[in-house]
Structure 1
């Protein structure tokens, strides 16, 4: 009886060695950077990688860690005191302080959660400005938001799941204004996919929407439903390392 057991053990060890070798080859082929590794700390200077969005979402519930990271950005901001109760408890809201170009978000009174603010910062610098330069040859001077905190359930229903807006873990984006004053609005410039190639504004909106999907847990656009005809919805719902992500 001992010989078959030994043979079985040897076979398992051989298969484990083959699997380990295959994983090593795959790892070497992919050559992931630190931004792709789920166990490395998030750095605002890293490019967007496979794990960036989940690292930002993990900051939900880590108020001190998130604010410490935001302080490395150079942004001037106010960390607001926790407020609200129950499902509408906001623990980590932050608000931009004064005029600055590091994050061209208006109105200045909007106060999303710290993870959302970090997501917005990375998205503007690595997605929005890049595509604005490529398509229009100039930067975005202002990102117009439609608010963050709203103590309500999803779609304003009287029952059902609570919206991420209830904890300020979401933000709605309505338009972008270029340096020359050109305004690009979700309501006015979004186009059907077949017409995107004919409009620079529509192409820009598609690209910045797609780029947001690598950062935020949920990204909803006019392509999702009529309720989002005039804005993008971004949120940082923390659904765990293997949690689902929505991009529509």
Structure 2
């Protein structure tokens, strides 16, 4: 091989190494903006947040460490063996610390608990202040863990609820005594409706699947939020 041919190839190789080193150094300084950087609950929700949440499903200790670092109180739950389709080994019950309490207490997978923390801090709280001029003091839900299929039965595709990897949100209680519900306020053309649409849109950046009354009549009274496996991609309706 002649030196004339080696020259351009060597230059391309050197430039490739320099580019790789530059990207690696940028990732070290800006971990929130690259897919391989660690998830930090203090960072704004970004393009790779959902991808990083996906990786937590295989790292229960790391997931709990994130909740600890954020000051979120929780209780580790005993594993449930519900057969081939149901049960969990990474269940937690969220306490009142770190955000608005859930009613009933949220029993979810650890990954969903982390996603809920991000949703409260970075979406719900700012949206409530902007649209309603109040704080959210309680989040009402229809529950999380339920060994069932997507449409409630035990046939066909199994729901993410069957592994505590989903939660259904019914409404919000405010510091001024108001209650905002999906069933009663979703279609209102006022601050209540704008708040609900804002929290739905924000959830779309954090959860793998976000389903609202815009999806179908089965979701007319709640937001379905889950962290199903989508490789970092999200589905929002």
Q: Quick check: TM above 0.5? A: yes
Q: TM-score range by the shorter chain?
A: 0.7 to 0.9
Cα separation, 1, equivalents of 2:235 and 2:177: 32
Do the aligned partners of 2:182 and 2:196 also contact (CA within 8 Å) in 1? Answer: yes
Name the residue aligned to 1:38: 35
Gaps of at least 5 residues in structure 2 are 22-28
Do the aligned partners of 2:125 and 2:135 also contact (CA within 8 Å) in 1? Answer: yes
User: Deviation at 1:109?
Assistant: 3.2
Name the residue aligned to 1:245: 234
Which of the two has greater strand per residue? 2
Name the residue aligned to 1:92: 90
Cα separation, 1, equivalents of 2:14 and 2:150: 49
SS in 1 for 2:33: coil
1:94-137 Cα shifts (integer Å, max 9, x gaps): 1124xx35221322533111111111111101100001111121
Name the residue aligned to 1:130: 126
For residues 44-193 of structure 1, the aligned pairs below 5 Å read 44-84=41-81, 85-97=83-95, 100=96, 102-191=98-187
1:187-223 Cα shifts (integer Å, max 9, x gaps): 11111xxxx6x31111111111000111000000000
Do the aligned partners of 1:129 and 1:139 also contact (CA within 8 Å) in 2? Answer: yes
SS in 1 for 2:147: coil
User: Deviation at 1:16?
Assistant: 8.6
Do the aligned partners of 2:93 and 2:107 also contact (CA within 8 Å) in 1? Answer: yes
Q: Given the two structures, how large is their TM-score scaled by the length of structure 1?
A: 0.82
User: Deviation at 1:46?
Assistant: 1.0
Gaps of at least 5 residues in structure 1 are 25-31
> RMSD across aligned C-alpha pairs, in angstroms?
2.9
User: Deviation at 1:86?
Assistant: 2.0
Name the residue aligned to 2:25: none
- Distance of aligned partners of 1:22 and 1:229 in 2 relative to their CA distance in 1, 3 Å threshold: farther
